Amino acid sequence: MSFDQATIDYYARAAPHYTASTAQGRHRHLDPFLDRLEAGASVLELGCGCGADAAHMQKRGFRVDATDAAAAMARKARERFDIPARVMRFDELEACQSYDAVWAHASLLHTPRNALPDILGRTHRALKPAGWHFANFKLGDDAHPDEGRDLLGRWTNLPSPAWLEQTYAPAGFAVEEAERYRGNGSDGTQRDWYALTVRKID
């Protein structure tokens, strides 16, 4: 499968009650990522949620194309932050060399593992030469080594750092920075996360 409809349906149901505080405001990796970009750069956001990150990017002067697979979430971003968010699943990305950067905070972790190479290929094609991409993932561990549903019913791919780096490399990305850190998910489960900042190399 290239996407999980039950996960999209979850966010559609949750959207009316989703706030910036629920999403913990903008992520701490956002400003360091944006600092790598030229002023006024174009940024595609995959999985914009309630729009907090997109609003911050726009405030900093970047041109943001905010997208989310759940129409209710895109509507939430428009209503809460006046962000012109549009509805798009990851596997519907068809842009070619259109963006300087792609930001995907806590979103690609919902992609089934067998679909991630295709999504990364689409992301690579959407980026301009030497473009930047950020994504972070919940990691699997001995107790939860395989992908599956979390306590909220969302699909989570639960990869290892090695698997991620081995998947990004063939897609034409070079890892510029990687960080493993401890964090909580929306379902209350604490686990290690892996944040990757990569650059398009071909």
Q: Where are the domains of the chain?
A: 5-200
Kindly report, residue by residue over 104-156, the tens digit of the pLDDT: 999 999 999 999 999 999 999 999 999 999 999 999 865 555 899 999 999 99
The percentage of the chain sitting over the pLDDT mark of 70, rounded to a whole number, equals 94
The mean of the pLDDT values for the chain is 92
Give me Rg for the CA atoms of the chain: 16
Backbone angles phi, psi at 83, to 5 degrees: -90, 125
Give the pLDDT of residue 186: 79
Long-range contacts of 87-92 (CB under 8 A, 24+ apart): 89/3, 89/8, 90/2, 90/3, 90/46, 90/47, 90/115, 90/119, 90/122, 91/2, 91/3, 91/115, 91/118, 91/119, 91/122
Tell whether the model's pLDDT for residue 20 goes beyond 60: no
pLDDT computed for residue 140 by the predictor: 87
Which of 33-37, 55-59, 78-82, 145-149 is the least confident region? 145-149
Query: What is the pLDDT at residue 153?
Result: 94
Quote the pTM value: 0.94
Query: Which CATH superfamily is 5-200 part of?
Result: Vaccinia Virus protein VP39 (3.40.50.150)
